């Protein structure tokens, strides 16, 4: 498979602190890649560098072989990226249907009925997004981020605060979208979600890639267990 995302020696410093330290990283088209690591590992900063919320001090970001580190987030989205932040960014005063129709008008004609079914939102079609349960709000937010069928989607902690059943449903949603051609990079702490969903995992520690491999390889790595308590 072709490489869809690559960073080369990507570095971000805040004063004298190096949050991301010469990270070289690549994602193949069709992957569901997870970024995990202990608090302070650099996951959030790395995520923000890739989507355009931070500018790197040095290094390169390539999306579909295009150099994008100088582009704003909206410019990266126009190239085929989708982004879902940890806190849902739905329009709370609009209904579920109005949220989807607004995103649909901005993108392309999508069968909204199928979207409602895929995201378990059929019964909430006329409910204000602000009145949805936390889980349903997360699903609506993922729907909005993926409605235009971007090639690469970034999800930040999409199962934070969800029940085990809601986490399973979120995994089903991501895997179905992946089969439809969307590559995912997901920042997460929820190891149940990682186990159910990931095709490959990258472990960050002290601003560097510490280990990469399959879920089973990560879980069985003694070094990972030493730095990241609670994943076994």
Q: CA 212, CA 196: separation in Å to the nearest integer?
A: 17
Average pLDDT over residues 188-197: 92
Per-domain boundaries in the chain? 3-227
Distance of alpha carbon 79 from alpha carbon 22, whole angstroms: 25
Q: Of 17-26, 101-110, 173-182, 193-202, which range is least confident?
A: 101-110
Q: Is the pLDDT of residue 108 over 70?
A: no
pLDDT given at position 69: 94
Confidence bin at 87 (pLDDT 50/70/90)? confident
- So what's the pLDDT on residue 229? 53
Phi and psi (nearest 5°) for 106? Answer: -75, -20
pLDDT of residue 225: 87
Widest pairwise Cα distance in the chain: 52
Report residue 113's pLDDT band, with 50, 70 and 90 as the boundaries.
Answer: confident
Half-sphere exposure of 195 (CA within 13 A, CB side): 10
| pLDDT band of 107, cuts 50, 70, 90 | low
Whether 80 shows a pLDDT value over 50: the answer reads yes
- For residues 36 and 22, give the distance between their C-alpha atoms in angstroms, rounded to a whole number: 17
Residue 231 is predicted with a pLDDT of 45
Minimum mean pLDDT among 44-53, 68-77, 101-110, 154-163: which range?
A: 101-110
How confident is the model over 117-160, as pLDDT tens digits? 999 999 999 999 999 999 999 999 999 999 888 999 999 999 99
What's the CA gap between 117 and 196, in Å, rounded? Answer: 21
Question: Could you name the CATH architecture of 3-227?
Answer: 3-Layer(aba) Sandwich (3.40)
Gap between the Cα atoms of 192 and 45, Å rounded: 24
For residue 232, pLDDT beyond 60: no
pLDDT more than 90, % of the chain: 82
């Amino acid at each position: 498979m072709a490489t869809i995302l690559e960073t080369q020696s990507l570095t971000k410093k805040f004063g004298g602190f190096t949050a991301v330290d010469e990270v070289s990283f690549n994602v193949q088209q069709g992957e569901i890649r997870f970024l995990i690591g202990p608090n302070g590992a650099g996951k959030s900063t790395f995520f923000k560098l890739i989507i355009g919320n931070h500018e790197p001090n040095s290094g390169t970001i390539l999306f579909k072989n295009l150099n994008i580190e100088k582009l704003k987030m909206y410019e990266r989205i126009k190239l085929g990226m989708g982004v879902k932040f940890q806190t849902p960014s739905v329009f709370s005063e609009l209904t579920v249907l109005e949220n989807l129709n607004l995103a649909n008008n901005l993108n392309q004609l999508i069968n909204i009925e199928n979207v409602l079914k895929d995201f378990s939102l059929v019964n909430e079609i006329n409910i204000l997004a602000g009145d949805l349960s936390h889980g349903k709000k997360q699903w609506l937010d993922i729907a909005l981020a993926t409605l235009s069928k971007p090639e690469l989607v970034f999800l930040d902690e999409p199962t934070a605060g969800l029940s085990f059943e809601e986490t399973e449903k979120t995994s089903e949603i991501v895997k179905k979208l992946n089969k439809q051609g969307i590559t995912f990079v997901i920042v997460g702490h929820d190891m149940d979600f990682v186990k159910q969903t990931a095709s490959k995992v990258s472990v960050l520690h002290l601003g560097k890639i510490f280990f990469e491999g399959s879920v089973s390889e990560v879980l069985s790595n003694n070094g990972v267990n030493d730095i990241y308590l609670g994943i076994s």
